[in-house]
């Protein structure tokens, strides 16, 4: 026999935001100058990849400012954090 215990009403649980709403996967190709572009907060940024990679098909995995660039075969080409204050993201700063 059920006694009629009151249980709290089911509600969605509030999660800590482990991810931002900016999670993207983009398929692209490195241009003839060895650059790929990405838009972040309505601003276009150029990512230097090197002229030796021109024409290479790539996949950009974007999680907010963290960007990972891989080939279509899965080889990691670049993993970095986008600097929104710079238009051009060089391969290395040093």
- pLDDT, tens digit, 9 for 90 and up, residues 19-70: 556 789 999 999 999 999 999 999 999 999 999 999 999 999 999 999 999 9
pLDDT of 17: 55
Q: Is residue 34 part of a domain?
A: yes
Tally the residues of the chain. Answer: 94
Please give the tally of structural domains in the chain.
1
Asked, for residue 90, whether it belongs to a domain, the answer is no
How far is 69 from 25, CA to CA, in rounded Å? Answer: 10
Rounded to whole angstroms, the Cα distance separating 63 from 92 reads: 20
Give residue 94's pLDDT band: very low, low, confident or very high (50, 70, 90): very low
pLDDT confidence of residue 53: 96
The domain in which residue 61 lies consists of: 23-84
Is the residue at 74 inside a domain?
yes
> Which comes out higher in pLDDT, residue 9 or 24?
24
On whether the pTM is more than 0.85, the answer is no
Instruction: Give 76's DSSP letter.
Output: E
């Amino acid at each position: 026999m059920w006694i009629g215990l009151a249980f709290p009403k089911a509600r969605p649980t509030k999660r800590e935001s482990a991810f931002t709403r900016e999670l993207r996967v983009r398929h692209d190709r490195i241009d003839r100058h060895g650059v790929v572009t990405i838009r972040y907060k309505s601003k276009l940024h150029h990512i230097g990849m090197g002229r030796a990679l021109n024409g290479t098909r790539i996949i950009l995995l974007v999680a907010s400012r963290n960007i990972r660039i891989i080939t279509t075969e899965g080889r990691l080409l670049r993993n970095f954090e986008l600097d929104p204050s710079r238009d051009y993201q060089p391969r290395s700063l040093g």
